[in-house]
Structure 1
């Protein structure tokens, strides 16, 4: 390899690096103007994630185009050109994956400002699923294109295509569970069955959907555990979704009290308690005697809240305050076990005699 070839190759490398740097700065300047020159703009932050793949794609492309001018020896030209081609394909695929994520995330940010909470969660779920599918497709296409640059792999293309049907059948049988989860994930995301942020009850566990991927769903429980479940579970079994259309929910608090309990006074205390707390959304309330036993009455308090978290807190608060009210103002209303003779009644001994 002559000195002239080395100098020309270094010049091409320096020129490609400089051009990539200039184009990157120009793209960042345009992005800053489009985002309103706000340093903390989420759009600008997303655009910055494209910086490295953009530099790699531009630099590799310029080096590939300028390689003939370097006049490298024949024994080196093939290897260098092949390496530059692989870098160009890899950089282009990396940039395409980041651009897809940029377009999807930017559209999600813009649409979330004009939608309610439920639609925003649905858009976030669908955007995440669509981003993963597109990035997986780009990765497969890029890997195939890189492999086809090798003569040995290219010569096997005919036989691979001829056996694609058999391989597809075998792979489908072997990966039946994985493919089922994959299609179930797409169905769940775009069928609006469950979304990120939804409050659900699955397998007897109450929690919030934290992450949805192509194959599994992560549910964060109230006690900070993480339940990882296959997507096929949600597509094939019933589950409770407490916030699919509306996050409002009705909470209940049940009290067992004595038959002598002044229900009207208890109802007034219940109304006063709800009026003083911000956990109640002001939509609905009721305090009713729903059942009776030989020793107690069953009083049920109903109250609505903005979401499941507020409903749980409100139920605990109402139960605690009503019991405290009865203990302080009407202690005779608390459940008791009768051990004395009722007025005018007979004891078992007198009945036996």
Structure 2
């Protein structure tokens, strides 16, 4: 059924398709997308609970969240694979919830590739053009341009079964963009690939987006994918979007414990607020260590949870006015990174990640360290 839907999604009502250029896009050709109070229910279960999201033309936006958070549901509602139970979805200001999938004109890339096994690479990529009744010469030229863009030219006459998983995914992406769609939807397209290949295609996708200028909505549960490729990230949890922001803001200044914990590794330190000076708070841990951390406007109360990322914690050779003692409870060598877990005197545990350099020696379990961080390294969540 998914392949049938994929075929329909790739058809166009008009053969007037813009030429693909391998030069950087001068301006975004993508559509704006407006999701307004969208609801989707499966019986008593609410998969999308009054979700709202605004996407600018040409943006690369990632829906990020754990399994069951509603990200794939939202993508399927936008694609037209499922019907919404409330709210509106607008593309370039026009409602599309009643428009059939094959008339929305979106490019689609699936996790399972959804390639036609009996067609060559060139035939798979050219399929949407043939459905649009484009003439043979234009189709051949468009396919050749797109294969070159995706570094697949030498594989044009191969069948999918003769290609690696990464190559097949490139074919699926090529097929999705060959019509130069204004919107491209991607449902965890890299999850089946190994880490090195996944990282390589992440960079290629980012470059591709800058070239074609389409609006891209990308679904993943992988934080590194979202941080690497996105203009903005919409973090989802239990059918809600809990934060939408640029990757650097999501990582450095999350708005909740959930976002802080889900996006990257984190140390969440419970502390008492003892002084406020603008957006900088002075805090004290249960063990008596006093430190400063930045906060957003409107953070009040006598207790606070402070986020300190593992790479922001520094190890000192000697005690300093801002350091505290800690005991090593685990230490792992991960190649370019040392992963060290320590316990403070008050019982709290902290994770430290530092680059492997000639100046740093992997500590032993039970070893005493002096650790600390600066005011700019902490972020008050609440």
User: Please, what TM-score do these two structures have when normalized by structure 1?
Assistant: 0.25
Q: Max radius of gyration: which structure? A: 1
Q: Which has the higher contact order (CA 8 A, sep 6+)?
A: 2
Higher strand share: 2
User: Please, what TM-score do these two structures have when normalized by structure 2?
Assistant: 0.24
Higher helix share: 1
